[in-house]
Chains A and B, each alone.
Chain A
């Protein structure tokens, strides 16, 4: 038999940025609120928002892949963890400034095999330039590159 040995921590970094999640009843998938990235429906009710946060786990649930966000001077990068998925099976949609990543995933349970749709939504801030968004899949990580608008880039003015 094989059994789990030591447990390593499934830690989440909550101190980086205040993040609230919610799942609207009419829409599957999870929308991540990143401060200015999305106006949260529970913005006026911090206690309730906290309640939602406590109930919805931040770890990757099989249907909502984990997503990390990074930035550099010219781009934002959204990295989704979608191991075991070929790039043909990934669908990325942009609608009303909401980026929706979804994919079909085959799940094996013994002899039976079923497909499950995984998806995650990300509300984009106004600082993202919608044209020029690109994506690549490597080693099970989907990286979506979101260019920043020219006017929002860091400008350095030299004193003449």
Chain B
């Protein structure tokens, strides 16, 4: 029987893919900007990375596990300590003016909506 070999091939690569947790978030569509709030408890400023690649905004938060070193888990309600949120942004936003702040474990990202260039009237000289 060669089932063992096949089974090994099909087995998921444990430990290779990092498990990430999807954080709770809210998006407020204001007139001039999208205001996104992401709950990232345990993540400090240095652990946050925000990327906008084409139309995908991805937020990653990594918990600095300094305090957790040497602690033995008795009970955990989430398997992963790190967060990832991916949002598709279909409205053009002003990439240069994106701002983010982190306070008490809540990340606020403001994506200003790009103002469409206004119609210009051209006078005939």
A interface residues with partner B (beta carbon < 8 Å): 1-13, 16-17, 19, 32, 34, 58-60, 66-72, 76-77, 79, 81-86, 108, 110, 139-141, 143
Q: Of the candidates A8, A67, A71, which one forms a contact with B71 in the assembled complex, judged by CB atoms under 8 Å apart?
A: A71
- Is B105 a contact partner of A141 (Cβ separation < 8 A)? yes
A115 to chain B, nearest CB (A): 16
Contacts of A5 in B (CB 8 A): 56, 58, 86-88
Interface string of B1-43 (1 = CB under 8 A from A): 0000000000000000001111010111100001010011111
Given contacts A9-B19, A82-B41, A83-B39, contact A70 B105 (CB under 8 A): no
B interface residues with partner A (beta carbon < 8 Å): 19-22, 24, 26-29, 34, 36, 39-44, 56-58, 67-68, 70-80, 84, 86-91, 103-106
Contacts of B58 in A (CB 8 A): 5
Q: Which residue of B lies closest to A58 (CB)?
A: B77
Report the Cα distance A6→B77, complex, angstroms.
Answer: 21
Residue with the greatest number of chain B CB neighbours at <10 A, chosen from A2, A3, A79: A2
Report the Cα distance A10→B79, complex, angstroms.
Answer: 8
- Is B88 a contact partner of A3 (Cβ separation < 8 A)? yes
B100 to chain A, nearest CB (A): 15
Report the Cα distance A12→B72, complex, angstroms.
Answer: 17
Report the Cα distance A34→B77, complex, angstroms.
Answer: 13
B63 to chain A, nearest CB (A): 8
Q: Which residue of A lies closest to B93 (CB)?
A: A2
Contacts of B74 in A (CB 8 A): 16-17, 34, 69-71, 76
Q: Of the candidates A34, A71, A83, which one forms a contact with B72 in the assembled complex, judged by CB atoms under 8 Å apart?
A: A71
Report the Cα distance A2→B58, complex, angstroms.
Answer: 12
Contacts of B28 in A (CB 8 A): 108, 110
Report the Cα distance A103→B9, complex, angstroms.
Answer: 50
Report the Cα distance A126→B20, complex, angstroms.
Answer: 35
Q: Of the candidates B19, B75, B78, which one forms a contact with A32 in the assembled complex, judged by CB atoms under 8 Å apart?
A: B75
